Structure 1
Amino acid sequence: MYKVDIQPDLKEAAAIEARRNREESRKSRIFNIRYRKIGVDVEGLKKQVEERKLREDAEKRRDEAFDADRVQYDRIAQMLEQEEQQRRKKLNEALVEFWKQEQQPSTRREWDIQDPEAIRKDHPARVSDHDPRCGLASMQRFAGEDLNVSARLKLQKEQNKRALEEQRKERERSLADHRYADTLEDKKRIELDLRALELARLEEECRKAKAAAMADFNRAKAAEVAEQQRLAQQREQDDNYAEIHNHLTSDILNENPSTAKSFLGPHRVITDRWKGMSPEQLAAVWKMQQEQCKENQRLRGEERQRDAEWDRQRELAARAGMAMEEQEQNFRLQLKKSLDAYNRELANAQKANLRYLEKEVYTNTPTAQYHLQFNTSSR
C-alpha cells in the first residue's frame, strides 16, 4: 500500500484555531496584573465621557448662538453707521446747495466793493457838457479833482470796517458751527461705542431663553409694524380720496356764477361779492384739526406703550439670562461636589483595600518556586 497524505478537516482546524485565540485572549486578560488586582470602572468612565461630551456639545451650541448674535449686532452697528454717514452726506449736500442757491456772492452787502465789473457797470462822471447831473459850476471842474475825498475815504473806511466785521463774525459763526459739528460727531461716536459695549455685555449675559423671547417679540413687533404701516397707508389713501372729494365739492371751486360772475371773462370773479367760507366749513376744518390732534396724541401714547413693552421684554430677558446662569453655576458646583465626594470615597476604598492586602493577604513572602508555577496557562 502507498502512503497517502490525509487532508485535515477544515472545520476542526477552524475550531482549534478559535480555541487557541480564546486562550491567548484569556491569558492576556488574566496575566494583566493591573486589571486583575486594581480593576477599572469602565461603565463609570463611559458615563463620565458621555456627560463630558454632552457638556461640550451644549457649550459649543451656546458659543455658536453667541457668535450668531454677535454677528447680527455687528451688522446692526454697521447699518447704523452707514445710515449716519448717509444722513451726514445728505446734510452736507443740502448745505452746499443752499450756499449755491441762497448765498451767491452777488447778494452780499459788500459785493459793490468786490465786484470786478463795478467800473464797467458804473456810469461815467459826466457824459457831456450838457449833462443834467452837472450843476452851475460844472465848467469849473477839472480832471483829477476830488472835492469830497475826505468824506469818501471816511465812508470807504467805514464800509471796509463793516465788511471786515461781517467777515469776522461770519468766520466765528463758521468756526462755531464746525466745533458744534465736531462735538456732535464725538458724542455720536461715544454713543456708538457705548452701544457696542452694551451689546457685547448683553450677548455675554443672555442665554437660550433670551434668544427665544427676543425672537417671539421681534415677530410680534414685525407683525404690529406691518399692520400699522398698512393702516397708515389705508388712512393716507382715505385722506387723499377725502381731500380730492372735498376739493371737488367745496364752495371754493363751485361758486355761484350768478352772484360772483364777472363781465371781464368767465374765469374771473367779483371779489367784493364773495362771502368767504361758511360757518359749517369753518366748523368742519376745526373739527378735522381736533381729530388730527387726538390722532397724534393716540399715536404718541401707542409709541410710549411700545417703548415700555420693549423695556419690559428686555428686562425679562436679562432676568431670565441671569437665572439661567445662576442655575448653571449651581449645577456645576453640585456636580463638582459630587465628583469630589465620589473620588474621596474611591480613594478611601483603595487605601482600605491596600491596607487589607498588606496586613491580611500578603503575610507570607512567596519563594521563587512559587512564582514559577504561574503564567504558564490560563487554567
Structure 2
Amino acid sequence: MRGKVSEHGVKSFCLADLSTFLMLKPYLPVDLKEAAVLQRRRDAEQQRQSRVFDARVRNVGVDKDALDHQIQDRKTRKETDNKRQEAFDAQMVQNDKITCLLDDRQKEDIQNLNKAINDFRLCLQQKEDRREFDLYDPQALKKDLPARVSDDDPRCTVSGVQKLLGEDLTENNRRKAQQEQLREWSLQQQWEQQKALEDKRLADGLYDKHRIELDKKAMELQRMEEKAKRHVCTFTKEFNKVQAEESLARRKFKKQQEEEDNSVEISNLVEGDLLSENPAQAISAFGPHRIVTDRWKGMRPEQLEEVINVQQQQIQEKMRLKEEERQRQAEWDRRRVQEARAMVLLERQQKRQEKELRKEQDHINLQLVQAHEAQKNYLNKEVFTNPPTDAYFHQFNTTSR
C-alpha cells in the first residue's frame, strides 16, 4: 500500500505545488539568461509589428532592401549609360569635326587640282599648239613663205617664170661650198683610209694569234683522239675475243642440249600413248570428267545411252518443277485474295466499332456537361449564398503572425 499512489493524490499534489510556486514566484531568484531571451523575443516582436503594420515600409511579397538595391543599381547603370552616351556624343562631335576638316581638305584639293588643270591648259594646251591651228590662224598670211625663197625652191615652176634655164645666181657661193665640201671629203677619206689600215693590221695580228692557238688545240685534240682510239681498239678486241669464246661455248651447249632433247622426244613418241592408242590418254589432268579433245577417240555406246537417259530425267525434272511452281503461284494468289477479303471485313468492323465508340463518347460528354451545369447551379444558388462583409476583412493584420 505504501508503494502505490492513487491518481487523485498525484493530481492534488501537483496542484498544491503549482499554487505554492505561484505564490513564491516574486521571491525566487531570476534567471538572467532566460530573461534576456524573453526580452530579445519581445523586442523582435515589436520590431516585426512596426514593419508589418507600417504601410510605408510593408510591401506584401516584396523585399524592400532588394528593391532599394535594384533602384541604386538602376541609378548607377543610368549614370554609366549617361557617361557612355556623353562619351559617344563627344566622339561623334569629334568625328563630325574631322569629317568637316576632311571635307574642307577635299574641297581644297579639288580646287587646287582644278587650278593646276587650268594652268596646264593655259601653259601647255594653247590654241597655237593644236594640229589644226594652221587652218584658222589669223597670222597665216604673215607666216606664209614668200613666192620665191631661193633658186632651188620647188615652187618655182616653169609657168611661174621665177627662174629661167641657164641662170646661176649663187655661182660664187656654190663654188665655195663645193670646194669646201671636196676638201672635207678628201680629209674624211684620208682619215677613214688610215683607220682602215690600222684596223686591218690589228685584225691580222689577232687572227694570227687566234690561228696559232687553234692549231695548238687541234694538235692536242688529235693526240688525245688517237690515244682514245688506241684504247678503244684494244678494249674492242678483248671484248670481241670474249664474246667469240662465249658464243662458241653457247653453240656447243645448245647443240648438245638439242641432241638430248631429240633423243628423248623420239623415245617418248615411240613409247607414248599416241602411237599405242591408249584410251586413258584422253583423260585430262584436271579430272576424270574432262578429256583432251586432240586425243579423244569418241564416246562408247553405253556412254551415249547414259547421256540420253540423263537428258530425259532432266526434262521430266524440269516439267515437275514447273508444275510445282504453277501450283505454288495459284496457292499464293488464293491466299492473297482471302487476306484482301479479310482485311476489307476487318476494316468495316473497325469502322462500326469506331462509330459506336464515338456515340458512347458523345453520350458521356453530354452527361459531363449536364453534371457540370448542375454543380455550377448548386454552387451559385446554395453554397455561395453568404457573401463576405467588411468585418471579415477587418479581422486580418491584427497580429504580426
TM-score of the superposition, structure 1-length normalised?
0.25
Larger radius of gyration: 2
Larger relative contact order (CA 8 Å, sep ≥ 6)? 1
